[in-house]
Amino acid sequence: MSAHPPMPLSSPAEFDSLFEPFVDADVAARFLSLSRKHILKLAIHGVIPAHPLGPGQRKTWRFLLSELRDWLLTNANSTRLMTAAMVRARFLKYARGRR
């Protein structure tokens, strides 16, 4: 007998929204209109929401598009989408402050 009762789902779309797949840096880069290299820099420095996989210095990074969307809207004051130039400027400001 299971400790948790099964969750009633009304549609396949509802199921999909509960289990969003992680995407790699290439997909995240296309989503934010940035380069893969830039996405990885932002992830390494903790500027964007990202999930590192693996031990050691060299990590594989995965992203949830919903988290990137929420981050984008939050950092753009929810009134406009952040352009690639704005993301770069925020990253450079953040990177200068960490020195």
Confidence of residue 89 (pLDDT cuts 50, 70, 90): confident
Encoding tokens for residue 95?
Answer: 């990177």
Question: Can you give the residue range of the structural domain that contains 68?
Answer: 21-97
How far is residue 94's CA from residue 92's CA, in Å, rounded to a whole number?
5
Is 79 a domain residue? yes
Res. 19: pLDDT tops 60? yes
Is 29 a domain residue? yes
Res. 79: pLDDT tops 50? no
How many CA atoms are closer than 13 Å to the CA of 17, on its beta-carbon side?
Answer: 6
Residue 63: which CATH number?
A: 1.10.10
Roughly how many angstroms between the first and final C-alpha of the chain, as a whole number? 55
Is 72 a domain residue? yes
Q: Give the predicted TM-score (pTM) of the model.
A: 0.61
Is 12 a domain residue? no
Domains contained in the chain, number: 1
